[in-house]
């Protein structure tokens, strides 16, 4: 099992990949998920812990399942 810091990096990369596939900027994703763009950036860089609630909001905003984002962790 990957270390916590590696898990954050993997999750952040998955969010970034799905965001780009959805053709969303960090700002647009933040707006759709009702989160701050700086928070989205920190999550994508693996610098920020993310709550389950925020993960669900991000997934919903991109039209994907939360399980798609945590696959591989």
The four Cα atoms 41, 43, 48, 54 give a dihedral, to 10 degrees, of 110
Class of domain 4-67: mainly alpha
Q: Summarize pLDDT for 19-33 with one digit per residue, the tens.
A: 999 999 999 999 999
Q: Summarize pLDDT for 32-72 with one digit per residue, the tens.
A: 999 999 999 999 999 999 999 999 999 999 999 999 999 98
Residue 15, Ramachandran bin (φ over 0: left; ψ between -120 and 50: alpha; else beta): alpha
Does residue 1 have a pLDDT over 70?
no
Domain boundaries, the chain: 4-67
């Amino acid at each position: 099992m990957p270390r916590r810091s590696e898990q954050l990096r993997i999750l952040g990369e998955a969010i970034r990949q799905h965001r780009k596939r959805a053709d969303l900027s960090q700002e647009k994703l933040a707006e759709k998920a009702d989160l701050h763009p700086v928070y989205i950036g920190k999550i994508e860089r693996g610098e920020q812990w993310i709550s389950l609630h925020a993960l669900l909001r991000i997934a919903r905003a991109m039209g994907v399942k939360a399980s798609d984002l945590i696959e591989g962790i």
